[in-house]
Structure formats: structure tokens, C-alpha cells
Structure 1
């Protein structure tokens, strides 16, 4: 079922990235899109519309200004409308998160007709449980992946490992549940998830066992 679902998604997408891969796109209107790891994206750009869809994963948009054609991004439970700004959309599972680097955007939450206006530094999450609280956080950490980095600020280890699994083309296993809630702060190169795991093993005083396509922390 999973393979069939993934095949259907790939058939719908114009662009797909593999685990650990990023891809830079130039759209017909001059807008730039950076697809993050394990993402699928499609777009329709013509004289009347600028409509795109993030089918899965994460993407950063640097939108060319055009007062006559709003730029729209659909991603699961949200639709984003802008005319010229830079922002990122993360769509994993049933939830979507929108983070604005600069400019202003309008987020439309599907199902309850809620509209939220965000500006630079704002983020919001929309999921099955509804619309979350608008938050303001450092774009340096939220959008660090755009610069090829992963930044964690006092995050529990289990959340750090969940994020690393998105970039590692194999299995990452924590064999010691007592490590789950250890707090991690660090700035890492996302292209080297195995090296990040070695660093985590050092700071948590754990052992890392490395096998082909398998990393075990214990």
C-alpha cells in the first residue's frame, strides 16, 4: 500500500527529491524554489495564474513580485497566498507549518475558513487538531536547512533523531530510551547525518554502532 501510494504521488509531481537530496528550481515567473529532502512538488504558471502544490516534504519559496497574479501554494490543510516574499512550507503527515523569512503572506486553513496573516519571523502550524498559535522564532534555526545546516536549540534527543531520519537513507535507532529526553543544542551540516550521529554519541556519552544503512545509538 505504501509503495503504491508513493508511486501515485510521484506520478502527480513535477519534481521529487530523494532522502538526503535537495533540488533548486527556477519557475517560469522568475520565482525560485528549493526542495528539501524527500519532497514532491508541482506547479502551474501561466499568464493568468501562479499555482503550486507541495505534495510532501518541505520547500522554500523566494517569490517574484507580480501584483496581477498572486502566488499560491497548497500543502495539505493550508493554502498560502503571496505576491512577493520569501517563506518556507513544511508538510509532513497530516500537518503543515508555514515560516516567513521576510515580507507578508496570507495563510488559509482549509475546513474552517480561517485566514491568518503572517510577517517576517512568524510561523504557524495547521493540523488535524486545528490552527496552532502564531509563534515568532529565529529564522536562523527554522530555515537553517536552506543554508545546508541543521540547528537545534535545547531540543530533546528524540526530536533531533526524528529530524535526522528525514536526511539519512537508512535506519536510525535509539537503543536506550533513557537518552530520549536529553537536551541537545548544536549547529550541524545536514549533508552528513552519520557525522551528526557521532557528535550526538559524544555529547550524550553513548556508543554509536555503524552498519550499512543502519545507525544504532546505545
Structure 2
């Protein structure tokens, strides 16, 4: 029997591509048919796919950047040789079901709940009924409620910049992860990440409140200020921000201020077509500040981890793994 270390790199890369293809194209008969044909070519192809399963299961043992979208896959003991093909085929179908439950599921819910949604690396500009202009960043979703008495937007995911039309009789409110931003007429950016909401103020004044289960905050921001609110602790980190860095994504840049590598990678994920994983907890927890190029997300990843001796491994065209070696 061919050993793992004798699997040709090209076949192993094909196996990783199939793993991610099955995730991305769940319940696609043609994809499943093509996969079975590829799998049946030789025992080496079967072993390569088993290796792909083990590799990604191991990466999943540490919470990834998108913990709310991706849960660890439990490693199962390998069956006897005579049932290997059946097990691999079954594992492929299980992975497809897994993708529906943990990958397609949240995306589907967003599509059902959101009034407006963008794809990875896509931006969109909207004009609401009251004249407010909303610029949405990549992989973002919002719902809107504009009536004679209410102006409210819920940021469900991602990031949006708001240039709010002044209306003294109807305050404009943006809700993002339990953080509420209330204004009459102003311009500001709101980012919603896993466990954190960030507000950057370009013009006017905003009143920010956070009503968590154990923590509450109420404060105001002035132009040129930014604040990040931690959902778990209620802690607020305030700092100054240059005008050109506010909503820098609108000009193809990503500005982060004293955030973890994991958080920076999560934000960059909205502009990178590949999945990004940071299985190294020590690297994930390091903190970075900088301006990164969204038009070259791989170079941005390199710049994020380089100060810590980190590297970006291109597992396939669909995956990037950040490590310290």
C-alpha cells in the first residue's frame, strides 16, 4: 500500500481542491459524479483524499478565524481496507452535509434576513428612502427600516459607511452586534467582527451605547475618533484616526489599530476568495496596527504575519494557513 509521504504533490493538491469543491458546491450531482470518477482512478487518489480530510480536521482543532461559520470536524478511526472506498465516499457526502449546516446555513439565513447583501470583495452604494447614502464593504449584509417616524439599519455582517441625511425629527440608528450608534446627520463607518464592533467617525457626532448581558456602555465620539467595543467584556478602546484611514476599504485599503492577527485576518477574509485559517493560537493572539492593500490580499496576509516571523501557506487556491514556521 502506498504511504502518505509517497503521494505525489499534484494528487494531494487535487484532493484538497476536491475537499473544498464539495464544501462550496453542496448537493451538486455533477460535482459528486466528477469526484467519484477522480476518486476511483487509483488507491493513491483515495489515500490523498483521506490525507486531505485528516489535514483539515487537524486545522479545525483550534478555533479558526470564522468560528461562527466553521466548526471542527471530528476525526474518525479508519476502517478496514476493504471498506475504504465506501468510507471515503461517505465522508465526502458527510462533508457536503457539513457545508450546508455550517457554511451555507449562515449564508442562507443572511440572504433571507438581509435587505441588501454583498459578496466577497464586492462593494455597493445604496441611497435609502430618506436620502442617506450607504456604502457596503465586501461580504456584508444589512436590513433597513425607514418610516415616517423611524430610521434604523441593522448591520448583520461586515462593514458599511453611512453618510446620513439630516432629519432632526427622526434620529438615524445603526445596530451592530448589540452596539447602537445614534445620529441626526453625520458620516461614520461601522465594522462588525466576531465579538467586536468598531465605529469610525468622519463628521458630526455619534452617541454609542452597548447593552450586553453583563456590561453596558454609553459615550460619544467626535470627528477623527474611533472606538472598538468588546462584546464579551464591554471594554471600549478609543483612539484617534486619520481622515484618510476612516473606511479605508472604500479606496482598496484595510486599516486596523491594535487588533489581533486573528481579527485582522477575519477582516481581510471579506476581500479574499480563499478561506483563511490561523491554527497557531500564539500567532493568532499577536496584535497588529497597519494599513494593508485589499487589492492584493495575499500580500496583505504576508505583511500581517511577517513582523512575528509568520508565513502564509497556500494549501490550495481555496485555502491559506497562517503559521509561525
- TM-score where L is the length of structure 1: 0.80
Question: What is the 5 A alignment of 1:47-196?
Answer: 47-111=148-212, 114-139=217-242, 140-151=244-255, 160-173=264-277, 187-196=291-300
Aligned partners of 1:52 and 1:73 also within 8 Å: yes
Question: What is the 5 A alignment of 1:37-52?
Answer: 37-52=138-153
Let me know the Cα RMSD of the aligned residues. 3.2
Name the CA shift for 1:175/1:74 in 2 (closer, same or farther; >3 Å).
closer
For the residue of structure 1 that corresponds to 2:249, the secondary structure is helix
Give the drift of 1:92. Answer: 1.9
Aligned partners of 2:127 and 2:133 also within 8 Å: yes
Q: Which runs of 5+ in 2 are unaligned?
A: 1-100
For the residue of structure 2 that corresponds to 1:11, the secondary structure is helix
Relative to its length, the structure with more strand (as a share) is 1
Give the drift of 1:58. Answer: 1.2
Q: Which runs of 5+ in 1 are unaligned?
A: none
For the residue of structure 1 that corresponds to 2:236, the secondary structure is coil
Give the drift of 1:196. Answer: 3.2
- TM-score where L is the length of structure 2: 0.56
C-alpha distance in 2, partners of 1:185/1:136? 12
C-alpha distance in 1, partners of 2:233/2:302? 38
C-alpha distance in 2, partners of 1:102/1:73? 16
Paired residues in the alignment total 218
Larger Rg: 2
